[in-house]
Structure 1
Amino acid sequence: MDDLAVSVGIVAPELSAGAFDPVLTLLAGLAARRHGQAALLRALARIERAPSAINAL
Protein backbone atom coordinates (compact mmCIF):
# COMPACT_ATOMS: atom_id res chain seq x y z
CA MET A 1 0.00 0.00 0.00
CA ASP A 2 2.83 2.39 0.81
CA ASP A 3 4.48 1.76 -2.57
CA LEU A 4 1.22 2.51 -4.35
CA ALA A 5 0.66 5.71 -2.39
CA VAL A 6 4.20 6.94 -3.05
CA SER A 7 3.89 6.14 -6.76
CA VAL A 8 0.91 8.48 -7.09
CA GLY A 9 2.33 11.14 -4.76
CA ILE A 10 0.08 10.77 -1.73
CA VAL A 11 0.63 9.80 1.90
CA ALA A 12 -0.43 6.25 2.73
CA PRO A 13 -3.49 6.21 4.99
CA GLU A 14 -3.38 4.81 8.51
CA LEU A 15 -4.65 1.25 8.73
CA SER A 16 -7.09 -0.08 11.27
CA ALA A 17 -5.64 -2.33 13.96
CA GLY A 18 -7.46 -5.26 12.38
CA ALA A 19 -5.54 -4.73 9.14
CA PHE A 20 -2.22 -3.57 10.60
CA ASP A 21 -1.66 -6.09 13.39
CA PRO A 22 -1.52 -9.29 11.29
CA VAL A 23 0.74 -7.62 8.71
CA LEU A 24 3.08 -6.42 11.45
CA THR A 25 3.15 -9.89 12.98
CA LEU A 26 3.94 -11.48 9.62
CA LEU A 27 6.68 -9.01 8.69
CA ALA A 28 8.28 -9.12 12.15
CA GLY A 29 8.29 -12.92 12.04
CA LEU A 30 9.88 -12.96 8.60
CA ALA A 31 12.51 -10.42 9.63
CA ALA A 32 13.33 -12.43 12.77
CA ARG A 33 13.68 -15.61 10.74
CA ARG A 34 15.92 -13.87 8.22
CA HIS A 35 18.15 -11.85 10.57
CA GLY A 36 17.65 -13.44 14.01
CA GLN A 37 15.60 -12.30 16.98
CA ALA A 38 18.41 -10.34 18.64
CA ALA A 39 19.15 -8.34 15.47
CA LEU A 40 15.46 -7.52 15.01
CA LEU A 41 15.06 -6.40 18.63
CA ARG A 42 18.19 -4.26 18.38
CA ALA A 43 16.91 -2.64 15.21
CA LEU A 44 13.61 -1.81 16.90
CA ALA A 45 14.96 -0.72 20.27
CA ARG A 46 18.63 0.29 20.01
CA ILE A 47 19.49 1.71 16.61
CA GLU A 48 23.09 2.34 17.63
CA ARG A 49 23.58 -1.43 18.14
CA ALA A 50 21.48 -2.58 15.18
CA PRO A 51 22.86 -4.17 12.04
CA SER A 52 23.00 -1.89 9.02
CA ALA A 53 19.68 -3.19 7.65
CA ILE A 54 16.76 -5.29 8.82
CA ASN A 55 14.06 -6.25 6.36
CA ALA A 56 11.41 -8.91 6.03
CA LEU A 57 11.43 -9.37 2.28
Structure 2
Amino acid sequence: MLYWSIICLVVAIIAGVLGFGGIAGAATEFAKILFFIFLVLLIISVIANVVRGRGPKV
Protein backbone atom coordinates (compact mmCIF):
# COMPACT_ATOMS: atom_id res chain seq x y z
CA MET A 1 0.00 0.00 0.00
CA LEU A 2 2.86 2.36 0.72
CA TYR A 3 4.19 1.54 -2.75
CA TRP A 4 0.96 2.78 -4.38
CA SER A 5 0.98 5.89 -2.23
CA ILE A 6 4.50 6.73 -3.44
CA ILE A 7 3.51 6.02 -7.07
CA CYS A 8 0.53 8.41 -6.78
CA LEU A 9 2.77 11.05 -5.25
CA VAL A 10 5.25 10.74 -8.13
CA VAL A 11 2.39 10.99 -10.65
CA ALA A 12 1.14 14.10 -8.87
CA ILE A 13 4.57 15.72 -8.96
CA ILE A 14 5.03 14.95 -12.66
CA ALA A 15 1.52 16.19 -13.49
CA GLY A 16 2.13 19.37 -11.50
CA VAL A 17 5.40 20.06 -13.31
CA LEU A 18 3.72 19.54 -16.68
CA GLY A 19 0.84 21.87 -15.77
CA PHE A 20 -1.99 19.40 -15.27
CA GLY A 21 -3.35 20.92 -12.08
CA GLY A 22 -6.53 18.86 -11.82
CA ILE A 23 -4.78 15.55 -12.26
CA ALA A 24 -2.01 16.59 -9.86
CA GLY A 25 -4.53 17.56 -7.18
CA ALA A 26 -6.48 14.34 -7.54
CA ALA A 27 -3.35 12.18 -7.44
CA THR A 28 -2.10 14.06 -4.38
CA GLU A 29 -5.35 13.49 -2.50
CA PHE A 30 -5.35 9.83 -3.48
CA ALA A 31 -1.75 9.46 -2.27
CA LYS A 32 -2.66 11.10 1.06
CA ILE A 33 -5.61 8.76 1.55
CA LEU A 34 -3.52 5.68 0.78
CA PHE A 35 -0.74 6.86 3.08
CA PHE A 36 -3.09 7.38 6.02
CA ILE A 37 -4.72 3.99 5.43
CA PHE A 38 -1.21 2.49 5.48
CA LEU A 39 -0.44 4.25 8.78
CA VAL A 40 -3.66 3.05 10.40
CA LEU A 41 -3.00 -0.54 9.32
CA LEU A 42 0.58 -0.29 10.60
CA ILE A 43 -0.57 0.96 14.00
CA ILE A 44 -3.20 -1.79 14.24
CA SER A 45 -0.58 -4.38 13.36
CA VAL A 46 1.86 -3.08 15.98
CA ILE A 47 -0.83 -3.01 18.67
CA ALA A 48 -1.97 -6.53 17.78
CA ASN A 49 1.61 -7.83 18.05
CA VAL A 50 2.13 -6.10 21.41
CA VAL A 51 -1.12 -7.55 22.77
CA ARG A 52 -0.16 -11.05 21.63
CA GLY A 53 3.27 -10.65 23.20
CA ARG A 54 5.19 -11.34 20.04
CA GLY A 55 8.36 -9.46 19.28
CA PRO A 56 9.65 -8.60 15.83
CA LYS A 57 11.07 -11.46 13.79
CA VAL A 58 14.83 -11.27 13.62
- Fold conserved (TM > 0.5)? no
Q: Which has the larger share of helix?
A: 2
Normalising to structure 1: TM-score of the pair? 0.36
TM-score (norm: length of structure 2): 0.36
Highest RCO, 1 vs 2 (Cα 8 Å, sep ≥ 6):
2
CA radius of gyration, larger in: 2
